[in-house]
Amino acid sequence: MGSVRRGGVRREGRQTLRVEPLERRLPMAGDVDLFVSGGNLRIVGDSAANDISIVQTAAGKFSIVGNDGESFRLDGVAVAGTVSVSGITKTITMNLGRGNDAVSIAGLADTVTASRLFVFTGPGADRVSVSSARFNGQLSISTGNGDSNADGDTVSVTDVKLTGPLIVETGAGNDSVAIDGVTARRAGVNTAQGEDTVTIAATSPVAFDTLLLSLGAATDSLTIGPGTLSLSKGRSRFVGGPGDDVLAGRDSLTPGSLARLAIDGFEGVS
Ligand SMILES: [Ca+2]
Ligand SMILES: [Ca+2]
């Protein structure tokens, strides 16, 4: 690996090598490893802030871009600039480790993105965006705890269709979750502690078999609509938990959905 990176990382001289552990705490772009095997893509970030975009260019093909001067290795070999991978038909797994990470995954309309996508961003204030994507299975996003409540995570899932479940877990911190234009089977959203904001169907309809939503401790806000939310099978439940939680847009639930839904722990429902 070259020891000098052009973008963003400033080295102050050879003496600073002695304080390498301190240097690692700076918000550097970091290194990202990519592994392609058997139709699977695995993306592993480091403890620094990793900011990457994954853009589908055709069935099974993706361009992976570092937005902050990230250094990529593909199966252990350094790759300069944008990385292209192909033959990805099964599972995409991302594990970005510590640091304030940002990742966006954009599929192609009416093209299967992958079978499954698992995103783990670890501690820190992370941003995850999944858009225009189709999965023949599960989408799971877990953004870990913030380093403080102010370190909230931001998750958006927009124009996504799944044949499996949708799971979003944002851990402690003041988190923001937006789900818009999404169809999935069962869905689970857990925002844990912190003052969380969840919006569902802000512009386009959202349809699940069931939705289990838990907003955790502290004062949280859930807004549905003006697009419709449809819950078509079994029992769904929204739990505000401790705090003066507010649910707005109850009327954006389809009538059949309301009959399947239990709403608990919200001090204000409108
Ligand atoms: Ca990281
Ligand atoms: Ca709450």
Which is more confidently placed, 188 or 14? 188
Q: DSSP string covering the chain, please?
A: --S--SSSPPP--GGGGGGHHHHTTS----EEEEEEETTEEEEE--SS--EEEEEEEETTEEEEEETT-PEEEETTEEE-S-EEE----SEEEEE--SS--EEEEE--TTS--BSEEEEE--SS--EEEEEEEEESS-EEEE----SSTTS--EEEEEEEEESS-EEEE--SSS-EEEEEEEE-SSEEEE--SS--EEEE-SSS-EEES-EEEE--SS--EEEE-SS-EEE-SS-EEEE--SS--EEE-GGGB-HHHHHTEEEES-SEE-
Q: Which ligand is nearest to the CA of 217?
A: 2
- Inform me whether the pLDDT recorded for 55 exceeds 60: yes
- Inform me whether the pLDDT recorded for 3 exceeds 80: no
- What pLDDT score was predicted for residue 150? 78
Q: What confidence tens digit (pLDDT) does each residue in 220-235 have?
A: 999 999 999 999 999 9
- What pLDDT score was predicted for residue 27? 52
Lowest-confidence pick of 6-15, 59-68, 193-202? 6-15
Q: Which ligand is nearest to the CA of 221?
A: 2
Q: Which ligand is nearest to the CA of 241?
A: 2
- What pLDDT score was predicted for residue 151? 82
C-alpha of residue 194 to centroid of ligand 2, in Å: 8
Mean pLDDT of 146-172: 93
Lowest-confidence pick of 25-34, 89-98, 160-169? 25-34
- What pLDDT score was predicted for residue 23? 46
CB-CB contact of 230 with 207 (8 Å): yes
Q: What confidence tens digit (pLDDT) does each residue in 196-216 have?
A: 999 999 999 999 999 999 999
- Inform me whether the pLDDT recorded for 24 exceeds 50: no
C-alpha of residue 242 to centroid of ligand 2, in Å: 4
- Inform me whether the pLDDT recorded for 25 exceeds 80: no
- What pLDDT score was predicted for residue 28? 63
pTM, full prediction: 0.88
Q: How confident is the model at residue 30 (pLDDT cuts 50, 70, 90)?
A: confident
Q: What percentage of residues in the chain have a pLDDT greater than 90? A: 85
Mean pLDDT of 9-13: 48
Q: Which ligand is nearest to the CA of 214?
A: 2
C-alpha of residue 142 to centroid of ligand 2, in Å: 19
- Inform me whether the pLDDT recorded for 189 exceeds 50: yes
CB-CB contact of 166 with 134 (8 Å): no
Residues with CB under 5 A from ligand 1 (ion): 45, 50, 96-97, 99, 101
Mean pLDDT of 54-72: 96
C-alpha of residue 121 to centroid of ligand 1, in Å: 7
C-alpha of residue 125 to centroid of ligand 1, in Å: 10
- Inform me whether the pLDDT recorded for 149 exceeds 90: no
Mean pLDDT of 21-49: 82
C-alpha of residue 37 to centroid of ligand 1, in Å: 22
C-alpha of residue 187 to centroid of ligand 1, in Å: 27
Q: How confident is the model at residue 78 (pLDDT cuts 50, 70, 90)?
A: very high
Q: How confident is the model at residue 146 (pLDDT cuts 50, 70, 90)?
A: confident
